[in-house]
Amino acid sequence: MLSNCLRRCAFVVTLLAAAPALAAEPPPEGASADAQQLARTRAHEGLKLYGADRWQEAFDAFQEADRLYHAPTLVLYMARCQRKLGNLEGARALYEQVLDERLPEDPPAAFLEARKDAETELAGVRDALKPPAPPPAPAPRAEGGGGSLLPAGVAFGLGAVGLGVGAVTGIVSLSRVSDIKAQCEGQRCPAELKGDADTATTLGHVSTVGFIVGAASAAAGVVLLVVRPGGDAAGAAPQARRGAAWSAGVGLGRIDLRGEF
């Protein structure tokens, strides 16, 4: 607060002392002692309005004072008013006007200070006018999957073997049954064909088990292909997942298949 008061007092003193220094420069056309006095009066009013945070009224007062008798200190406060009002483009133009102005050979110290202040404050205005930085590019989405295909491959391989065994043993079993029926009369068959009949029955059971194992393994392969232990489900967002574990047990006429996720 004390610093602001001292700066405003210095501003008033500068306005009061500016006339002799400006007299060395060609005065504005039509300028007179009355105009200079009126300019000082309006500058005083502008300073009071500026201290009361009445930026637009202060700007109008400084602008009128500058028209009556120009001084870079007046333009500096005009720029500050525009900055306070949020008109950064207008403030920048006025700050640049202060910096571009040609001063007299022996300018008052306040004029030099006004130029220094304008340079410092202009840098802040230019920074505020810079376009905002573009938002950072979104992080690339992790690809789905990435887990091992080996479990699925093993399951598909087991399925192929099971289906193959089921098909071969089924064909052999049907062939044996056909041969036996050819040697039987109706439902009565020779006793020596009992061994062949038992073999055909066993082959039929093996064929059934082979088809069951093959179908179950193929289904497990599809599940493992989607789950991919160690990776993510296809098309799903990456997330923590427990590993998938499978176990299978095969016996004559039965199959056990268990899965944990």
Q: What is the pLDDT of residues 142-178, one digit of tens each?
A: 555 456 677 777 777 877 877 787 787 778 777 777 7
The torsion defined by the Cα of 27, 116, 59 and 85, in degrees rounded to 10, comes to 160
In a domain, 141, yes or no: no
Q: State the Cα–Cα distance between residues 134 and 60, nearest whole angstrom.
A: 38
Claim to verify: residue 181 and residue 238 sit in the same structural domain: yes
Q: How far is CA 240 from the centre of its chain?
A: 22
pLDDT at residue 123 in the model:
95
The whole-chain average pLDDT of the chain stands at 75
Claim to verify: residue 124 and residue 217 sit in the same structural domain: no
Domain residues for the domain of 216 are: 150-260
Q: Which of 52-61, 80-89, 153-162 has the lowest mean pLDDT?
A: 153-162
Most confident of 5-9, 86-90, 235-239: 86-90
In a domain, 140, yes or no: no
48 exposure class (CB count in 10 Å sphere: 0-12, 13-18, 19+):
middle
Pull the structure tokens for residue 218.
């193929």
Claim to verify: residue 108 and residue 70 sit in the same structural domain: yes
User: Integer distance in angstroms from the first to the last C-alpha of the chain?
Assistant: 70
Claim to verify: residue 31 and residue 70 sit in the same structural domain: yes
Claim to verify: residue 207 and residue 110 sit in the same structural domain: no
Claim to verify: residue 162 and residue 67 sit in the same structural domain: no
Residue 99 pLDDT > 60, yes or no? yes
Percentage of the chain beyond pLDDT 90 is: 32
Q: Which of 52-56, 104-108, 147-151 has the lowest mean pLDDT?
A: 147-151
Pull the structure tokens for residue 85.
């009002």
In a domain, 74, yes or no: yes
C-alpha distances (whole Å) from 69 to each of 9, 23, 55, 64, 85 are 19, 11, 21, 9, 24
Claim to verify: residue 123 and residue 180 sit in the same structural domain: no
Tally of domains within the chain = 2
28: Cβ contacts below 8 Å, ≥ 6 apart:
69, 70
pLDDT at residue 175 in the model:
79
In a domain, 134, yes or no: no
Last residue of a domain, one of 129, 158, 175: 129
pLDDT at residue 85 in the model:
96
Q: State the Cα–Cα distance between residues 49 and 126, nearest whole angstrom.
A: 26
Higher pLDDT, 77 or 36: 77
Residue 102 pLDDT > 80, yes or no? yes
pTM recorded for the entire structure: 0.46
Claim to verify: residue 110 and residue 171 sit in the same structural domain: no
In a domain, 212, yes or no: yes
Specify the long-range contacts of residues 89-98, CB closer than 8 Å, at least 24 apart.
89/129, 91/125, 92/122, 92/125, 92/126, 92/129, 95/119, 95/121, 95/122, 95/125, 96/122, 98/72
Claim to verify: residue 19 and residue 112 sit in the same structural domain: yes
Closest CA to 206 of 156, 247, 172: 172
Higher pLDDT, 220 or 120: 120
**Band (188; pLDDT cuts 50, 70, 90):** confident
